[in-house]
């Protein structure tokens, strides 16, 4: 990641106001820590929440599981935590459905020739 992009991310992280709370989980018989974002909805704080999500992705997740949606018209990327890591679309409801419908119509046209 270029240094300038990292600087922008760190600047955005500096705006975030986060508090945490520790709770006892009786079922697991252990403590859990929950983070709460205090935001008044200003653009800078909203960007800070997004920056925190990006920071967690970069530091806590396997980046080889970040994929680009296979719909050529889509610009989104997603994190694929599925069991076999074969997810293809950002959303099955949107891109996945569109791609499957397009493939179905393509097959139907080819059969009709």
What share of the chain in percent tops pLDDT 70? Answer: 93
Please say whether the beta carbons of 102 and 95 come within 8 A.
no
Q: How many C-beta atoms lie closer than 10 Å to residue 15's C-beta? A: 17
Q: Do 39 and 77 have their domain in common?
A: no
pLDDT tens per residue, range 39-85: 677 788 788 888 888 888 999 999 999 999 999 999 999 999 999 99
pTM: 0.63
Q: Do 95 and 80 have their domain in common?
A: yes
Mean pLDDT of the chain, nearest integer: 86
Question: How many domains does the chain fold into?
Answer: 2
Q: Do 26 and 74 have their domain in common?
A: no
Please say whether the beta carbons of 75 and 89 come within 8 A.
no
Both structure tokens of 34: 């929950």
Place of tokens 């959303």: 91
Range of the domain at 73: 63-113
Secondary structure E strands in the chain: 18-25, 30-37, 66-68, 77-79
């Amino acid at each position: 990641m270029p240094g300038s992009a990292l600087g922008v991310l760190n600047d955005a992280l500096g705006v975030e106001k986060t508090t945490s709370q520790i709770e006892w989980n009786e079922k697991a018989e252990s403590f859990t820590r929950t983070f709460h974002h205090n935001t008044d909805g200003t653009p800078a704080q909203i960007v800070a929440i997004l920056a925190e999500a990006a920071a967690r992705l970069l530091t806590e997740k396997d980046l080889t599981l970040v994929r680009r949606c296979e719909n050529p018209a889509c610009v989104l990327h997603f994190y694929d935590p599925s069991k076999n890591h074969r997810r293809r679309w950002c959303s099955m409801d949107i891109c996945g459905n569109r791609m499957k419908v397009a493939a179905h119509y393509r097959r139907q046209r080819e059969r009709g020739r």
